[in-house]
Amino acid sequence: MQLILNKVTAHRGSFKLFADNTFSRGLHLVCGAVGSGKSTLALIMAGLLAPDTGVVSCPSVSTSMLSLQFPEYHITGLTLADECRSWGVDTGKILAEEGFVARTTASPLRLSRGELKRLHLACLLANEYDMLLLDEPFSALDCQQKEILCNRIAARNHGITVIFTHEREILPRFERYWEIRNGRLGYLGADPDVLCSTITGGWTTGNRCACHE
């Protein structure tokens, strides 16, 4: 099971994003500054945005899901119960776990963004996808909820999981670390070697930390 970016480029005015990398099973972390191209890359990997050049292929990936940064973009139900049912999950269980039992008939748009994010991610993570792409999953969550989310993501042991984020304070233990820098996706290494790469500022598109070479 892989996601292959074969010399992929995307142009936005004077900005150019380039990726020539392969993502395999496991948990990947893609970091980069705000505006570095993380969301654009996520859309390309999900097949929702065609690259200007290059090819994206996903051998053996049958199901995939992209979680957008703003959860309101995903809403399809008129009530919280409807929204849960639209994901095909155990509605009662999800609403109970997230503390929304008394608000079952409320509109999802009546929730705060943090509450809606929690509901959205709970529904999403209750399903198994061969490839799960999470764009800024920690946004709008407080520290406690970020830690809960990290544990849920870490418990996922199926397929490819990619987190796109600019946050580095609270993160699940990942297996591979990537960074978009100056419009190019680079591989820094595997945890815990990634700390060495981050400190030295070097990265490669190979399989080793640049500072080990």
* CATH superfamily, with its number, for domain 2-63+129-212: P-loop containing nucleotide triphosphate hydrolases (3.40.50.300)
User: According to the model, what pLDDT value does residue 30 have?
Assistant: 95
| Ranges of H-type helices in the chain | 38-45, 80-86, 91-97, 113-125, 143-155, 194-200
What's the pLDDT at 169? 79
How much of the chain exceeds pLDDT 70, in percent?
89
* Lowest-confidence segment of 26-35, 104-113, 167-176, 187-196 by average pLDDT: 187-196
pLDDT, residue 191, reads 58
pLDDT exceeds cutoff 90 at 203: no
Sorting pLDDT into bands at 50, 70 and 90, what band is 194? Answer: low
The lowest-confidence range among 37-51, 92-106, 139-153, 166-180 is 166-180
pLDDT at site 52: 97
> 4 is written with which tokens?
């292959």
Tokens, residue 196: 């060495």
- Which amino acid, 64? S
Does residue 20 have a pLDDT over 90? yes
Q: What is the pTM of this model?
A: 0.88
Domain limits, CATH 3.40.50.300, in the chain: 2-63+129-212
Amino acid type, 175: E
pLDDT of residue 192: 52
- pLDDT at residue 196 is higher than 80: no
Q: How far apart are CA 154 and CA 132, in angstroms?
A: 13
Q: What is the pLDDT of residues 122-150, one digit of tens each?
A: 999 999 999 999 999 999 999 999 999 99
